[in-house]
Amino acid sequence: MADRFLTVYLNFRGEAAEALEFYANVFGGEPNIMRHGNMGAEGPDAELVMHGQLDAPNGMHIMAADVPSVMEAPIGGNGGVSLCLHGNDAAALRGYFTALSEGGTVTTPLEEQMWGDEYGDLVDKFSIRWSVNISGQ
């Protein structure tokens, strides 16, 4: 059986490069960005990101694109999706929560919950919803 992977692919309207740079500052790594103009597109969509990818040193993969003006698609956090970071590396997860919240809105502070884990959620400055769960040991 072939390996199967799930990678988040985020859609934006002109903010994909900025978002990938922001996530690189949070998680590490360097974004790799291909613009529509690199593939021959001209006009107002030429500078939009056709495909962007961040491969962070911690193993996270984030892909992103700018939806061209001729297409309609859910963008940002309005598409009914949220991303969850979880594990037991409390220092790393707290750091991600703090960094992702810069310029965004914390909707649930990261703190111990009744189930014994630390949990919090936020909407980042690009309207992407994130939750962080630190496993209680």
φ, ψ dihedrals at 100, nearest 5°: -65, -30
CA-CA distance, 101 to 85, in Å (whole number)? 13
Burial label for 137, CB within 10 Å (0-12, 13-18, 19+), is: exposed
Point out which residues pair with 106 in neighbouring strands.
122
The model's pTM is 0.82
Query: Which tens digit of pLDDT belongs to each residue from 90-131?
Result: 999 999 999 999 999 999 999 999 888 999 999 999 999 899
Sheet holding 118-123, edge to edge: 82-87, 129-134, 118-123, 105-112
Say what percent of the chain tops pLDDT 70.
Answer: 89
- Segment 61-65 shows an average pLDDT of 92
Q: Please report the pLDDT score of residue 75 as a whole number.
A: 58
Tokens of residue 68, six digits: 């061209």
24 pLDDT band, cuts 50/70/90, is: very high
